[in-house]
Amino acid sequence: MSSTFPVILVTGLSGSGKSTALRVFEDLGYFCVDGLPTAMLPKLAEMFQPKTTQHRGLVLGMDLRQSDFIQEWEEANQQLEKMGIDLTILFLECRAETLVTRYATTRRLHPLESRNLGLEQALEMEKEVLDPIRDSADLVLDTTDYSIHDLRRILQEKWTDIENNPRGMRVRVVTFGFKYGVPLEADLVFDLRFLPNPYFDEKLRELSGKDAQVSDYVLKTDPGSTFMQRFTDFMIYLLPLYAEEGRHRITVAIGCTGGRHRSVSVAESLFSQLREAGYSSTIEHRHLELG
């Protein structure tokens, strides 16, 4: 995040919610521009300074509608670095089958689609081309299961946290149910289906891992208590090693069968420990209400 004026790039797979994300930032008080030629990014960023605008920052929406997007992106990023502007990147993605459905519903063409390139091929090509930008993103959001309202709410929550913690390793903890699918954006995936399952206790079934009764059931006795201690120690050991390799964002996905009891209990405990250790951390329970 720039020390003078925040400059944010919103990009990702076409159809994954870029337009919605830009509207969210606009509502938050940012100046938003969509479809700006990448080469103009440094010039526009230079124009906007805190003394000359009432906006909180500059947000740019970019995608592969430009044929030379990647080359111009690399050059523009280098210029921004020379200017002392630390670009913050939000990358949106979505499962291919959901993107196909969205395009079929809107009847719009994908930017890379042509007579010789079908929609599914265009989606695959776009994903491959944008992978380097995804790897350097500050926040990656998989919008497959999000409504417009979900995306708005989560963006507001996550971006507030990033603004309050602009430096250091960022850890995003996501819980999920294996019956609903593993999050696409996960860097690390942990399967907790070996822990005792509160679902089979009628008194606990309707509760979640956020409730003390469920958390105690999962974590107060072995194997839960020993696992939680070793798991926390492992993550505290691991994160600095990723940071040394230049990683500044890690998404940790923690799953159980339904994503309601065991994964939530462990994730809440890990999230608390990471915060105490000084890490900028966020948490999302993706399938809690489904489980």
Instruction: Write the CB contacts of 200 (distance below 8 Å, at least 6 apart in sequence).
Output: none
Please check whether residue 94 is in contact with residue 16, taking contact to mean a CB–CB distance below 8 angstroms: yes
269 is in an annotated binding site: no
Shortest CA distance to 27 belongs to which of 137, 144, 160? 160
Q: What is the rounded CA–CA span in Å between residue 133 and residue 152?
A: 22
Q: Is 63 annotated as a binding residue?
A: yes
Backbone phi, psi, residue 282, to 5°: -130, 160
Quote the tokens at residue 17: 């919610």
φ/ψ bin of 270: left (φ > 0), alpha (ψ from -120 to 50), beta (otherwise): alpha
Query: Known binder of ligand: residue 255?
Result: no
Answer whether 55's CB lies under 8 Å from 48's CB: yes
**278 appears as a binding residue in the annotation:** no
- For residue 189 the two structure tokens come to 């995936």
**Is 273 a known ligand-binding residue?**
no
Q: How many CB atoms lie within 10 A of CB 173?
A: 22
16 is an annotated ligand-binding site residue: yes
Judged by DSSP in three states, 145 sits in coil
2 is in an annotated binding site: no
64 is in an annotated binding site: yes
Closest CA relative to residue 170, chosen from 284, 278, 279, 8: 279
Report whether 249 belongs to an annotated binding site. Answer: no
- Map residue 56 onto helix, strand or coil: coil
Per the annotation, does 13 bind a ligand?
yes
Residue at 221: amino acid letter: T
Task: Tell which residue, 11, 6, 116, 26, has the closest CA to residue 66.
Answer: 11
Q: Per the annotation, where are the binding residues for GTP?
A: 63-66
Q: Per the annotation, where are the binding residues for ATP?
A: 12-19
Q: Per the annotation, where are the binding residues?
A: 12-19, 63-66
